[in-house]
Amino acid sequence: MKTYILKRLILFPIILILASFIIFAVLRFIPGDPARLMAGLKASQEDVQMMRERIGLDKSFLSQYGLFIFNLIKGDLGVSIRSNKPVINEIGKCFLNTFILVLSSYIIAIVLGFVAGMLAAIFQNTWLDNLVIFFAMIGASTPNFWLALMGMSLFSVKFRILPLMGMGTWKHLVLPSISLAFYPTALIARMIRSSILEVIWKDYIKTARAKGLREIVVYFKHALRNALIPIVTLIGLNFGSLIGGAVVTESVFNWPGLGKLLVDSITYRDYPLIQGCFLVTITSVILMNFIVDLIIAKIDPQISFK
């Protein structure tokens, strides 16, 4: 157990450094001269040269990377070309908004997924089970931005009960978080249903029933425990796809989050901002995977033997 966690602890910063290196290296290949972009359209050749020296483009690749890491540790991600503000401030604002969106989708997905999956398993082969399977199929096969647009046209345009886009009241959160939650809800519901059905005929469940435990206790306490590890893994791994989905959802609803910032920064070729957005997104996903690994190590007794 301890060696497992130690291994993960050593691996975590290594993955982080490699990921930052990949982002840094790949973004060097963006066509166009970042120094010219940053100096502005009217800049003279000398201005561009000065800018090049200021941001360190005249140095070798490795020392550029070293400088980048050094500034990163200080919390300096450079200055946005478009707004001329520090990238770290721009990202900080948006990060919170994305966090709100992703967190609320997560809560919806986990609660709804659990309830639907449990109901489907308890009432296996009834209309309720079929209904859950049907919705899980829809959820897994429908693009979230399409659901978002359909929700908009129905609830914002036709019935006028929800705001069209933007951010502010809790009402603004309803459509984005539900449309983003559809896919993970479907996955969680399916996973819970099949994990429970897998064990429901096993001896230890029969024993629990024979002891005279109430059905609900049998399902929640005994059957669900078996499903816990795959579900925690699934929920954890889904964080990445949720962040990816947020990129699209945010741009549908004009939600001022990290994803929208990323897409906008690519459109405007705002080079330092692109780099910062990728770094923050990837770091949070890697961090999440790391936390999930630790949780699984905690709840899975088998890992301590590995």
Partner 1 sequence: MKIKEKSSKSNFKKNKRIVIACIMLILLIIIGIFAPLIAPTDPIEQDLSNILQTPNGKHLFGTDQFGRDIFSRIIYGIRISIVEICISIGFAFVIGVLLGLITGYYGGRIDLIIISFLDILAAFPGIILAILIIAVLGPSLINMLIAISIFSIPTFGRLARNSTISLKNKEFVIAAKAIGVNDRNIMFKHIFKNLFTPLLVQVSLTAGGVILTAASLSFLGLGAQPPTPEWGVMIGQGRNFIGIAPHLCLFPGLAISYIVLAFIFLGDGLRDYLDPNLKNKM
The minimum distance between CB 144 and partner 1, in angstroms, equals 8
- Residue 274, CA distances (Å) to 61, 169, 178, 305 in order: 19, 29, 28, 43
Q: Which of 5, 19, 197, 294 binds partner 1 (CB under 8 A)?
A: 19
List the x/- string, 118-137, binding to partner 1 by CB under 8 A: -------------------x
Asked if 167 interacts with partner 1 (CB under 8 A), we say no
Site residues (CB under 8 A) for partner 1, limited to 85-104: none
Asked if 153 interacts with partner 1 (CB under 8 A), we say yes
C-alpha span between 217 and 211 (Å, rounded):
11
Q: Which of 121, 278, 292, 297 binds partner 1 (CB under 8 A)?
A: 278
**3-class SS string, 75-143:** CCCCECCCCCCEHHHHHHHHHHHHHHHHHHHHHHHHHHHHHHHHHHHHCCCCHHHHHHHHHHHHHHHCC
The DSSP code sequence of 38-55 is HH-TT--HHHHHHHHHHT
The minimum distance between CB 44 and partner 1, in angstroms, equals 28
Asked if 252 interacts with partner 1 (CB under 8 A), we say yes
Q: Which of 1, 9, 138, 161 binds partner 1 (CB under 8 A)?
A: 138
C-alpha span between 137 and 186 (Å, rounded):
7
Contacts with partner 1 by CB under 8 A lie at 15, 18-19, 22-23, 26-27, 29-31, 137-138, 140-146, 149-150, 152-153, 157, 164, 240-241, 243-245, 247-248, 251-252, 262-263, 266-267, 274, 278, 281-282, 285-286, 289
